[in-house]
């Protein structure tokens, strides 16, 4: 069950950081706040918060600590899931594209 939860954590983090666009909104708001409204930019990093690999790793480790599952095999799973965040991003986009393709095919039939 822990591995499934870690996988779900990875997918949620990838969605929020890489796909939702929320990080660009946060960066724009932060740059406006820091420059008193003179600059609205997304051209900077606020690691680990805008890095799905980093966030998956650290939140995964926190999850393991909270659930008292902090063992070497589970740490390796977290590291592997962190490494695969780009693949998870691509998989989520593929699922979205497949659903769009099915919907378009249904429209053509109707």
Q: What is the mean pLDDT of residues 13-19?
A: 97
| pLDDT given for residue 61 in this prediction | 98
Tens digit of each residue's pLDDT (9 = 90 or more) over 68-98: 999 999 999 999 999 999 999 999 999 999 9
Kindly state the DSSP code that residue 48 receives in the 8-state scheme.
Answer: T
| pLDDT given for residue 87 in this prediction | 98
Kindly state the DSSP code that residue 103 receives in the 8-state scheme.
Answer: H
**Does residue 41 surpass a pLDDT of 90?**
no
**93 sits in which H/E element:** helix 85-109
**Does residue 43 surpass a pLDDT of 90?**
no
Kindly state the DSSP code that residue 105 receives in the 8-state scheme.
Answer: H
Which pair of structure tokens corresponds to residue 93? 């986009």
The pLDDT > 90 percentage for the chain reads 84
User: To which residue do tokens 């606020």 refer?
Assistant: 46
């Amino acid at each position: 069950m822990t591995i499934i939860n870690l996988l779900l954590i990875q997918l949620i983090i990838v969605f929020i950081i890489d796909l939702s666009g929320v990080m660009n909104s946060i960066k724009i708001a932060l740059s406006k706040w820091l420059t008193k409204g003179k600059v609205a930019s997304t051209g900077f990093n606020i690691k680990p918060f805008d890095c799905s690999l980093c966030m998956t790793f650290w939140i995964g480790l926190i999850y393991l600590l909270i659930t008292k599952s902090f063992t070497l095999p589970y740490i390796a799973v977290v590291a592997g899931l962190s490494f695969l965040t780009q693949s998870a991003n691509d998989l989520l986009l593929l699922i979205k594209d497949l659903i769009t393709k099915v919907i378009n095919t249904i429209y053509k039939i109707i």
